[in-house]
Amino acid sequence: MKVVTQSKKVNKAWLNEHVNDPYVKAAQRDGYRARAAYKLKEIDESLQLLKPGQLVVDLGCAPGAWSQYIRRRLAPSGAAVGALDGAILALDLIDMLPIEGVQFIRGDFRVAEVAQQMHQALGGRRVDVVLSDLAPNLSGIGATDGARIEHLVELAVEFAIQHLHAKGTLVCKLFHGSAYQPMVSLFKQQFRVVKAIKPKASRDKSAETFLVGMEPGKR
């Protein structure tokens, strides 16, 4: 019973923090499905990444907050529906409610057949921005989790190198830990410009950060 009681206290504390989170309130006000939209918003505004006319790929898109934000940035009037100047291709393991103008593929990015679907959907077009919010289920075992994170980041980098144009950008989520420095080194090998950003919308307790690689090609 003691464990259950502690669990309830923890859940209640988390729920209270979540409900009072200013980014949660902002997401509800602005019509975003998750507070994560403001992480991308801060990265975008800092680096001026997203512009009308672009082709953008959103990896690990569910529940869709990033795709919603991208859709608004590509819309001539910034609207959530209506005209769209550009294209958005999104992928996730789990289903996502439709977003007007977003082409969604459900599947595991690590499976060759799913990756092939992505290649086919692009139809040979070069991508302006690849956004990866991919994250593994963490086990709490440092070496195991580090390997899983590295693998997903490596896949995102491989996809980006294959499909970005010469001035394109990859934004990739990862976590501070054993995988962090190797992934920074990988980015520096593959992109001319590399930046690390921890948005204010990332919770203080979170170890997540975002690596931005710009202009693929060795430095």
- Positions annotated as catalytic residues are 173
Q: Decide if 181 contacts 187 (C-beta within 8 A).
A: no
Q: Decide if 169 contacts 212 (C-beta within 8 A).
A: yes
Place of tokens 């994170």: 149
